[in-house]
Amino acid sequence: MKRDISVLVTDLDNTLFDWFDIWYASFSSMLDEIVRISGLPVGVLEREIKAVHEKHGTSEYAFLIEELPSVAATHSSQNVMEIYAPAIEAYRQARRSRLVLYPSVRETLESIKRSGTLVIGYTESLEFYTTYRMIKLGLDGLVDFVYFPPDHSLPEGLDASQIRLYDADAYKLRLTRTRHTPKGETKPNPQLLGHILEECGADKATTAYIGDKLDKDVRYGAGSGSP
């Protein structure tokens, strides 16, 4: 007998939208500008970028340029952020041009919501960029809950208000309820999924889970007892 689904848990990146395409287009545009401005070899920059990403556990680290040793050495007594403002703008422009949902995702979520199904988002992407993408994609409210890791720490002496263009409320979801997952926690972790379902009052027997990776999402859902 077919069971009615009352809860949908969905991955976000590469499930509702093409995260890799967004990231690659943005990153490549930024890197091209860094090479143009600095004159540094792209191979050297790529190695240093990889090290910074690994250090902070994310490929979306907001202070990447300032932490590149070669860039710092090239501009030892200058304002790196001012010099590389064109690189940051190239990143933003490319991101805006690629930030779209997969075809029919919006219509599907709207239909699911009309049916009374609770929609829970879960992602390994950090809070700031997840929230940014959800706002820009119009997912605020189409997803009831979203779970993500907290943001990486800011460089010493820097406050979030110093780097954001708008008031803090502009970076917050208004309708979707947000929850943090433990920092450093990654899929597959069936216990974490079980905790999410329990916290949202969901029944495993009537919960469906969707994602894009066999090694993470399928094992993640199957291990929790979800179909």
pLDDT reading at 43 higher than 70 = yes
Per-residue pLDDT of 63-84, as tens digits, reads 999 999 999 999 988 899 899 9
183-186, long-range: CB within 8 Å, 24+ apart, which pairs?
183/149, 183/150, 184/57, 184/149, 185/149, 186/124, 186/216
Per-residue pLDDT of 82-137, as tens digits, reads 999 999 999 999 999 999 999 999 999 999 999 999 999 999 999 999 999 999 99
**DSSP 8-class letter at 65:** G
Whole-model pTM?
0.85
Cα–Cα distance for residue pair 25/36, rounded to 1 Å: 17
Mean pLDDT computed over 195-221:
80
Find the DSSP H helices in 102-218: 105-114, 127-136, 190-199
pLDDT reading at 215 higher than 80 = no
**Mean pLDDT over all residues of the chain?**
88
pLDDT reading at 163 higher than 60 = no
Q: Which residues does residue 207 pair with via DSSP β-bridges, in sequence order?
A: 7
Look at 17-31, 121-135, 146-160, 197-211 and tell me which has the smallest mean pLDDT: 146-160
Per-residue pLDDT of 148-162, as tens digits, reads 999 877 666 656 555
Look at 14-18, 200-204, 212-216 and tell me which has the smallest mean pLDDT: 212-216
CA-based nearest residue to 192, from 179, 205, 181: 181
Q: Find how far residue 15's CA is from the centre of its chain.
A: 12
- % of residues, the chain, pLDDT over 70: 85
